[in-house]
A and B are shown apart, each in its own frame.
Chain A
Amino acid sequence: MGGPGPFQDKPSLRVEGLSLSRGGRVLFEGLSFSASTGAYIEVRGPNGAGKTSLLRALAGFLKPRAGKIVYDNVAEPPLAIHFIGHANALKREASVRTHLRYWSGLFGVTGSADSIDDVGFGLIERADLPVRALSQGQARRLALMRLRIAPRPIWLLDEPAAALDADGKEMLGDLIESHRLHGGIVIAAVHEPLGPTPAQTITVGA
């Protein structure tokens, strides 16, 4: 139940002439790229260039000023996307296990509850601890567990390696690599390379 299932329907996405603004300020204009099944794409750019906004637009949270984002061979975009943002989406008082159970319900996973014991990522012995007892890096690992709980083809990762130790970074790299091999698409905003060789690098606000 660990890894994502194969995405045989070959998901792909196209971005055409995308313009984004944040708080009235234009971040970038006319960004176009496409990603096909099995692609790993790195988004780069200085702080404030719009990397996070690009990912939020791809996730459908942020309405573009102009241009369009088209997903092909993907059921309904919200059901095909995982978004790992700066904020980990964790509740301090809830346990690791509670989070995993909540997410499997939230993302409509039909598997049994046993898969929760398959957490891995070095969190299994902490499954009953509340999040406030975790370190920053462990909290990040827990957030990344969402990628494994519900198989979804499109992963949008915003600085996914933030706070991770060497071991955690390696696990993240493996996770991305295996997702690619299964036909998924990974788009990650990064400052340091994550390990897997990107199919292409998109630079915003250069």
Chain B
Amino acid sequence: MSAFIATFRRDLALMWGAAGGAVAPLGFFLGATVLVPLAMGPERALLQSAGPPLVWIAAALAVLVTLERLFQADLEDGSLDQMLLSSAPLEVLVLAKGAALWIAIGLPLAIAGAPAAIALQAPPERALLVAASLALGMAAFIGVGLVGAAVTAGVKRGGVVIALIVLPFFAPPIIFGSALASGQDVGAALLILAGCALGACALGPIAAAAALRVQSE
């Protein structure tokens, strides 16, 4: 079994088992989207235009809350030292952790995006598109989030710092994802979103591994 698969499997098991899996982020996400019509009133036209962007913002914030402990736990309990002695480069192990986070939290959030969009008066035929684009967006958020989580691994209550670091980089996927969810320029927005996801997943682990090497001193 390769180090990538071993790390992926263990992190997936830990996220689903101990941390309660996607339950808490899903609750956060659905709670936030349920509050929107309560705050804005039931006016259909208003909800229809504001709904899809709000689904994206809620999803971005929901994944943000899962980042804080991603590397902090490994730093505190000594697991990071072992990762540095692995037969695979740290970058590969970080990618495995990101992939596990995407499966455990990102995909459930993306799927929940479909009913959430319908609840916010999006046309039902667009629900699938919202879910698919959110799945791409989650990959972009997590790729960027890896860096924020790595940089703040040694910081107590680093959650706020993570938000300050990663939120600016959440902007491009949010802009194009919301446009996509609103049904504008679907093809182009999807391509740009996929580009964001690819870029974040390629560069994120490299930057995160560099930050973790410094933290492990």
Q: Which of A56, A102, A104, A107 has the most CB of B within 10 A?
A: A102
Q: By the criterion CB–CB under 8 Å, are A92 and B18 in contact?
A: yes
- Is B43 interfacial (CB-CB < 8 Å)? no
Contact A105 B85, CB 8 Å, known A91-B77, A92-B18: no
Chain B at the A interface: SS class: helix
**Partner-binding segment picked from A38-46, A82-90, A120-128:** A82-90
Measured as residues with beta carbon below 8 angstroms from the partner, the interface class of chain A is 20 to 34
- Is A203 interfacial (CB-CB < 8 Å)? no
Q: By the criterion CB–CB under 8 Å, are B78 and A88 in contact?
A: yes
Total interface residues on B, using CB and 8 Å? 28
Q: Which of A60, A83, A85, A106 has the most CB of B within 10 A?
A: A106
- Is A78 interfacial (CB-CB < 8 Å)? yes
B210 to chain A, nearest CB (A): 14
Chain A at the B interface: SS class: loop
Given A61-B217, A90-B77: 20 more A-B contacts, CB < 8 Å: A59-B85, A79-B85, A79-B87, A81-B85, A83-B82, A85-B78, A88-B78, A89-B77, A91-B14, A91-B79, A92-B18, A93-B14, A94-B10, A98-B13, A101-B1, A104-B6, A105-B5, A106-B83, A107-B86, A108-B2
Residues of chain A from 97 to 120 with CB closer than 8 A to chain B in the complex = 98, 101-108
Contact A105 B3, CB 8 Å, known A91-B14, A91-B18, A94-B14: yes
- Is B184 interfacial (CB-CB < 8 Å)? no
- Is A179 interfacial (CB-CB < 8 Å)? no
B212 to chain A, nearest CB (A): 11
Contact A106 B217, CB 8 Å, known A78-B86, A89-B79: no
- Is A10 interfacial (CB-CB < 8 Å)? no
Q: By the criterion CB–CB under 8 Å, are A108 and B77 in contact?
A: no
- Is B168 interfacial (CB-CB < 8 Å)? no
| Bound-complex Cα distance A156 to B135 (A) | 43
Q: B1-34 vs A: 1/0 string, CB under 8 Å?
A: 1110111011001100110000000000000000
Q: By the criterion CB–CB under 8 Å, are B6 and A62 in contact?
A: no
Q: By the criterion CB–CB under 8 Å, are A93 and B2 in contact?
A: no
- Is B76 interfacial (CB-CB < 8 Å)? yes
| Bound-complex Cα distance A62 to B79 (A) | 16
